[in-house]
Homo-oligomer: A and B are copies of this chain.
Amino acid sequence: MLPSLNKTPTWQTIAKKVQDHRDATIAKVQPSIPDIALEDIPLDSTSIPKTILKPEEIAITESTPEDLVSKLASGELTSVEVTNAFLRRAALSQKLVNCITELLPETALEDAQKLDESLKANSGPLGPLHGLPISVKEHVGMKDLTHNAGFVAWHERIAPANAHILDILSAAGAVFHARTTEPQLLMHLETSSNLYGTTVNPFNRSLTSGGSSGGEGALIGLRGSCLGIGTDIGGSIRDPAANNGLYGLRPTTYRLPMVGLTATKLGQEQIVPVIGPLSTSLEGVKLFMKTIIDAKPWIREPSLIPMPWKTDSQFPVLPDGSKKLRIGLLVDDGVVRPHPPVLRALNSMTEKLKTVPGIQVVEWKPFKHDWAWTVISSLYFGDGGAEDVAAIEASGEPWRPLSDFIVKENPNVKNLSIGEVWDWTMKREIYKSEYAKLWEERDVDVILCPAGPGAAPPIDQARYWGYTSQWNLLDYPALVVPTTKVNPSVDLSETDYKPRNEKDKFNHDLYEPSKYINAPVSVQLVGRRYEDEKVIEAMQYIKEKLGLPWAEYV
């Protein structure tokens, strides 16, 4: 046998192969989407879909999930037309921002067809998501399809079954039309891998889409999907939601099913990853949560808590009919000062909140958020990063800069003994108890805070996780909500600012108003553990009173 026949393919060859596969699935979308030369795509790509799609496709893809499921259930729209519209817009999104690992036109349209037929035959929808297309982060397993979790070496791993969450969504009538990009390691607040390259921000293509669910963020930001599935262990749902002007929820752990995902460090339970929704609407987030929890996922997946979705109001109502809501305002975590657009968003929101009867805003002083990062980042990679190193090095693919950052340059990554992990776990518990005590003393309902230290930064610069990882450590449900966009003529640099530390300096130096032009600015609402419903209800109420978001995106 000739040696060349046995040659292990290079990572470049593998990357080409998976990209060819992706492009082949996109080519099956009909009518096909024309290729667009890179130089013809403006910095803000969000205007492009209107120039290419048909008006009815635009109308469908710019509808909210709640509008679509209502029209699908009544038969006003068919699932085939809705699915095809989203397939077309997803295909276009790939050409604009590189957010897709594969489209599923054949199975999605087949499923849609069956749902349309069943609606007629049974004169009713299969479930609350009847006919709705949903996009899915790549490492959420789909039966008989590959899932690689961002590693070149894993490109031929086949999922033996659908992830549990997909079974539930499917039984509720959902259609899966798109699979989306994620970074090498799954642990960047950006989305770049050697398999698919870099996913960029649709609102400003020189910026990141965020990550690790950055394919979802960019795709939904461009309305190639209205509801998608992400995962989050340090901000990976909320960061791309924030960067793309979306709603995104990191639920409390053990509420939504996790079986059937591929990743390194499976079995690591000190910092528990979660799955959750990104959506163009807050109602979409709620629909996602309620649909899954109503299916009692704890029966099949016993690590989940049998806690039904609460539908009654979580707030007292005052005599004038307004809800009594006490908000803790955390503007700055004391470690890294947010950029001017974030400060403007929070200040302007607070001014409006203070005028709403029933709403009280009090200062939330941060409590050792730097220590929180030490604890969480010590527990992420208890094996010293061994599994991740092995998964990267198995193919000889290069380390991406943000993989270096979080594993190799992270002083808290050490090969710990079991006893050391137990020690860090106790430190985590003590910190959680201290924070819980503060919450009890300060007696707030929710905390309003930044979703990150700025809007989406330029590529490879997302190096401060504290505004999102803080709530992973505490296991608090946290919801990101869009508010405005960066306006360089208003959001000026703070030229006289004296940074407190290296991280603060890095973030401060990053901000140049013109570079961030048009980037969505989001905020975050945080609740106590297992108060997911309360956080959503609070945001619905705030939204209703304040008219969020203040900027229109599409």
Residues on A facing B (Cβ under 8 Å): 259, 265-270, 298-303, 305-307, 382-384, 386-387, 415-419, 421-426, 429, 432-433, 435-437, 440, 474-475, 528-531
For A386, the chain B residues whose CB sits under 8 A away are 418-419
User: Which of A307, A417, A432 lies at the interface centre, i.e. has the most chain B CB atoms within 10 A of its CB?
Assistant: A417
4 A-B pairs with the lowest CB-CB distances in the bound complex, closest first: A267-B422, A267-B425, A382-B418, A383-B418
In the complex, residue of chain B having the shortest beta-carbon distance to the beta carbon of A434: B302
For A382, the chain B residues whose CB sits under 8 A away are 418
For A383, the chain B residues whose CB sits under 8 A away are 417-419, 422
Is A422 within 8 A of B302, CB to CB?
A: no
CA distance A303 to B529 in the complex (A): 9
Shortest CB-to-CB span from A80 to chain B, Å, is: 34
CA distance A419 to B423 in the complex (A): 17
For A432, the chain B residues whose CB sits under 8 A away are 302-303
User: Which of A302, A307, A416 lies at the interface centre, i.e. has the most chain B CB atoms within 10 A of its CB?
Assistant: A302
CA distance A269 to B440 in the complex (A): 26
For A474, the chain B residues whose CB sits under 8 A away are 302
The 8 Å CB contact of A437, one of B300, B435, B530, is B300
Q: List 18 A-B contacts (CB under 8 A).
A: A265-B422, A266-B422, A267-B421, A267-B423, A267-B426, A268-B425, A298-B529, A299-B440, A302-B435, A305-B530, A306-B530, A306-B531, A383-B417, A383-B422, A386-B418, A416-B418, A418-B421, A421-B421
CA distance A416 to B415 in the complex (A): 12
CA distance A268 to B267 in the complex (A): 13
Shortest CB-to-CB span from A209 to chain B, Å, is: 30
Contact A306 to B529, CB < 8 A, known contacts A300-B433, A301-B433: yes
Is A529 within 8 A of B418, CB to CB?
A: no
In the complex, residue of chain B having the shortest beta-carbon distance to the beta carbon of A427: B267
CA distance A209 to B110 in the complex (A): 65
Contact A300 to B436, CB < 8 A, known contacts A267-B424, A305-B530, A425-B267: yes
Is A302 within 8 A of B433, CB to CB?
A: yes
CA distance A480 to B227 in the complex (A): 48
CA distance A303 to B428 in the complex (A): 10
In the complex, residue of chain B having the shortest beta-carbon distance to the beta carbon of A423: B267
In the complex, residue of chain B having the shortest beta-carbon distance to the beta carbon of A474: B302
In the complex, residue of chain B having the shortest beta-carbon distance to the beta carbon of A298: B529
* 18 further interface pairs, Cβ-Cβ under 8 Å (given A302-B436, A302-B528, A418-B418): A259-B433, A266-B426, A267-B421, A267-B424, A267-B425, A298-B529, A300-B433, A301-B433, A301-B436, A302-B435, A302-B474, A305-B530, A306-B528, A383-B417, A383-B418, A386-B419, A387-B419, A415-B418
For A421, the chain B residues whose CB sits under 8 A away are 267, 418, 421
Is B424 within 8 A of A299, CB to CB?
A: no
CA distance A422 to B267 in the complex (A): 4
In the complex, residue of chain B having the shortest beta-carbon distance to the beta carbon of A476: B302
In the complex, residue of chain B having the shortest beta-carbon distance to the beta carbon of A267: B422
Is A302 within 8 A of B418, CB to CB?
A: no
Is A440 within 8 A of B305, CB to CB?
A: no
For A307, the chain B residues whose CB sits under 8 A away are 305, 307
In the complex, residue of chain B having the shortest beta-carbon distance to the beta carbon of A422: B267
Shortest CB-to-CB span from A449 to chain B, Å, is: 18
Shortest CB-to-CB span from A505 to chain B, Å, is: 33
Shortest CB-to-CB span from A313 to chain B, Å, is: 17
For A268, the chain B residues whose CB sits under 8 A away are 422, 425
In the complex, residue of chain B having the shortest beta-carbon distance to the beta carbon of A303: B429
Shortest CB-to-CB span from A269 to chain B, Å, is: 6
For A269, the chain B residues whose CB sits under 8 A away are 269-270, 425
CA distance A331 to B527 in the complex (A): 46
For A423, the chain B residues whose CB sits under 8 A away are 267
For A530, the chain B residues whose CB sits under 8 A away are 298, 305-306
CA distance A386 to B416 in the complex (A): 14
CA distance A416 to B417 in the complex (A): 8
For A528, the chain B residues whose CB sits under 8 A away are 302, 306
Is B529 within 8 A of A302, CB to CB?
A: yes
Shortest CB-to-CB span from A165 to chain B, Å, is: 14
CA distance A63 to B438 in the complex (A): 43
